[in-house]
Amino acid sequence: MSELNELLSEQLAVFIMGFAGVILLLAIMLIVQGTKLRRMRSRYEAMMSGNGIEDLENLLVNLKNQGDMLEEAQQEQKALLEAAQTKMRGMKSKVAMKRYNAFGERGNDLSFSLAILDDNHSGIVLSSLHNRENSYIYAKPLEKGESPYPLSPEEKEVIALALQQI
């Protein structure tokens, strides 16, 4: 036992210095952690703006309500856009005209065919046949590019020209 006491007393200075170093290291870590905790607490208090949990709860509820309102508005806008697109598809936006001489040698290019179509290839074809004595105008309905009435070559050509438009 005396040998153990002798060994401890010889190494006592080393043990005390080691423990002092560990205590100093722990004290430095405690100061660093305290500083981080103070910063975090000040940020938390700034976020809560003095009233604590109630403000955070109100903030979250308000954000949820705003999100719901934005989603409803987005759905309304989407419905309006779809309605506008549907309406635009039905508009007669493809128009083409061709002038020609319907009676060969006896006239000028005073006759014409006019096609007015929508995106569904529906609409009308107007044809005017003009000669020196008379002028005749014919209207033929179109559904999906087809007419229940026979179409002249000029009318077919003007329909094709209208369908080529964007």
Mean pLDDT lowest among 27-31, 76-80, 89-93, 147-151: 89-93
Provide the mean pLDDT of the chain: 85
DSSP letter for each residue of 71-139: HHHHHHHHHHHHHHHHHHHTS--EEEEEEE-TTGGGS-S-EEEEEEE-TTS-EEEEEEEE-SS-EEEEE
Does 99 lie in the same domain as 154?
Answer: yes
Q: pTM, whole model, 2 decimals? A: 0.50
Q: Is the pLDDT of residue 81 over 90?
A: yes
Q: Is the pLDDT of residue 37 over 70?
A: yes
Mean pLDDT on 43-59: 70
Structural domain boundaries enclosing 113: 94-163
Does 81 lie in the same domain as 98?
Answer: no
Does 99 lie in the same domain as 149?
Answer: yes
**Residue 20: inside a domain, yes or no?**
no
Does 156 lie in the same domain as 101?
Answer: yes
For residue 25, what pLDDT band results from cuts at 50, 70 and 90?
A: very high
The C-alpha angle with vertex 70 and arms to 44 and 43, in degrees rounded to 5, equals 5
Q: Is the pLDDT of residue 107 over 70?
A: no
Phi first, then psi: what are they for 3, rounded to 5°? -65, -40
Considering the chain, what percentage of its residues have pLDDT values greater than 70?
A: 92
The 3-state DSSP class for residue 26 equals: helix
Does 117 lie in the same domain as 82?
Answer: no
